[in-house]
Structure 1
Amino acid sequence: MDGSSSAPPALARGSGQRLLVAVGDRDTAELLTSTLESAGYRTGAAASGAEVARRLGEHRFDMIVVDTELPGLDGLAQGPLRPAYRPPVLLLADCASLARLVPELGAGERDCVTKPFRIAEVLARVEVLLRDAGPGGRRGRTLDHADLSLDDGTCRARRGDRVLDLTPAEYRLLRHLLANAEKVLSKEQISRCVWGEFRGDNAIEQLVSRLRRKVDRGGPALIHTRRGFGYWLGEPAAPG
């Protein structure tokens, strides 16, 4: 708690979209399905890779929430278990970078929440993924500025010829900065986009610092601080 008297924002709500919760641990699966249903989504459950394939064959889901440690997940990449379509995927993972994100579910829109996860963050990432994958969304969209580019279809970012090895939080921060290039974003705006909630204790400063070291290494700085206001991405004006 930060002592603020203002009420926290309401959690994102769905409008009946169908989500498949693919989690092996029963307690975690029940927590996720009950929370998602309370937030306005319809859910189905699967406890193995084979069950994921079966459920995808029975119904068309708008998204899959999947634990990367789900038994039999690797079987989805082969033969009859391979899904005929590729809904967006929210991964629950003990992952350090996007390079580990499960390839078996295809190259569609995806995001990652690290475990142990916070329900508010899961709900926020579900909302963003569904919005980006829907009509007029950003599925497959490429964002770029100067020699910096980000491909939402493959979850890859590059600075010139250099591939950037980003964590999920760094990737979301860079995407938010690129989508709002030349605009100053407050710490609260960035925090709610990256984590679905406001985090203090220098969390944003540390995240921006890590991303800046990766993006600006060996090239002109593109990520800047506007002291007292926030951060922005762009090329600074040449001195007059």
Structure 2
Amino acid sequence: MTRILIAEDEERIASFVAKGLRAEGFETTAVTTGQEAISRVRAGDVHLLVLDLGLPDIDGFEVLNRLRAQGSTVPVIVLTARSSVTDTVTGLESGADDYMSKPFRFEELLARVRLRLRASGTPSGETSMLRHGTLQLDLRTRRIRSGDSEVDLSAREFALAETFLRHPGEVLSRERLLSEVWGYDFDPGSNVVDVYVRYLRRKVGAEHFDTVRGVGYRLADAGSCD
């Protein structure tokens, strides 16, 4: 299984990232210091590192410098509140493979994780097509097929459809969908989930998405869509 190390001292963010990646089939470990991150990567059991810059012991830039100086080629995605051009350039020049600023959306982080794993030749167990009943979602073209009809999806519609298709039969709360599709910092009182579920129902058929009153939504049983 692909192992991802998360070096992040803010527990809420570390938990959010770890939970989302585990739901996508990755094995995750979280550490809170730069020294721990370096030790874990040195041990050779890490396929990718998600690295915060503001760690309590040593700066994330120093973590990068030490890892690259030691010859480590593990892909590193910097995930930080530092969003200046100077910090971005410094991070990339220090050896980061990618740089993301907080606040962030999990769907974007997930896409970058997959990209960096593919670039490094690490098998991630990902498939290019998700299927459930008469629904087929192509992860490469970002198009969805329902029976004989194929339609384009906006970026957010695609992310929502992917979340449903990766969790068939599960009741997904509005809070979980907000967290996984819109990001940990999105307003929990928003009705954006309901709005986008309506968009998907119009495009691919209302019969594919069940409403679970008081909780959220569920992808309909495959048999009921045939």
Within the alignment, does 1:10 sit opposite 2:46 as a pair? no
Which residue number in structure 1 is paired with residue 141 of structure 2? 154
Which residue number in structure 2 is paired with residue 182 of structure 1? 169
- Superposed, 1:22-61 pairs within 5 Å as 31=84, 34=87, 42-43=91-92
CA deviations 1:163-212 (Å, max 9, x no partner) are 22211111000000000011101111111111112432211111111111
Could you tell me the TM-score, scaled by structure 1's length? 0.50
Aligned residues: 150
Task: Choose which of 195, 218, 225 in structure 1 pairs with 2:211.
Answer: 225
Instruction: Provide the rounded CA distance (Å) in 1 between the counterparts of 2:88 and 2:146.
Output: 39
Within the alignment, does 1:137 sit opposite 2:124 as a pair? yes
Instruction: Provide the rounded CA distance (Å) in 2 between the counterparts of 1:36 and 1:194.
Output: 28
Could you tell me the TM-score, scaled by structure 2's length? 0.53
Gaps of 5+ in 2: 1-9, 18-48, 52-63, 65-74
Gaps of 5+ in 1: 1-6, 21-28, 45-58, 66-117
CA deviations 1:2-33 (Å, max 9, x no partner) are xxxxx99326581464569xxxxxxxx96367
Asked if the contact 2:50–2:77 (Cα under 8 Å) also holds between the matched residues in 1, the reply is no
Which residue number in structure 1 is paired with residue 103 of structure 2? 120
Deviates more, 1:191-200 or 1:171-180: 191-200
Instruction: Provide the rounded CA distance (Å) in 1 between the counterparts of 2:162 and 2:125.
Output: 11
Shift of residue 138 of structure 1? 5.8
Which residue number in structure 1 is paired with residue 20 of structure 2? none
Select the structure that is richer in helix: 2
Instruction: Provide the rounded CA distance (Å) in 1 between the counterparts of 2:222 and 2:132.
Output: 12
The structure-2 alpha-carbon separation of the partners of 1:163 and 1:193, relative to structure 1 and needing over 3 Å to count, comes to same
The structure-2 alpha-carbon separation of the partners of 1:177 and 1:125, relative to structure 1 and needing over 3 Å to count, comes to closer
The structure-2 alpha-carbon separation of the partners of 1:192 and 1:32, relative to structure 1 and needing over 3 Å to count, comes to farther
CA deviations 1:65-98 (Å, max 9, x no partner) are 8xxxxxxxxxxxxxxxxxxxxxxxxxxxxxxxxx
RMSD: 3.7
Which residue number in structure 2 is paired with residue 26 of structure 1? none
Which residue number in structure 2 is paired with residue 213 of structure 1? 202
Secondary structure, counterpart of 2:171 in structure 1:
coil
Secondary structure, counterpart of 2:181 in structure 1:
helix
- Identical-pair percentage: 27
Instruction: Provide the rounded CA distance (Å) in 2 between the counterparts of 1:188 and 1:226.
Output: 13
Asked if the contact 2:137–2:143 (Cα under 8 Å) also holds between the matched residues in 1, the reply is yes
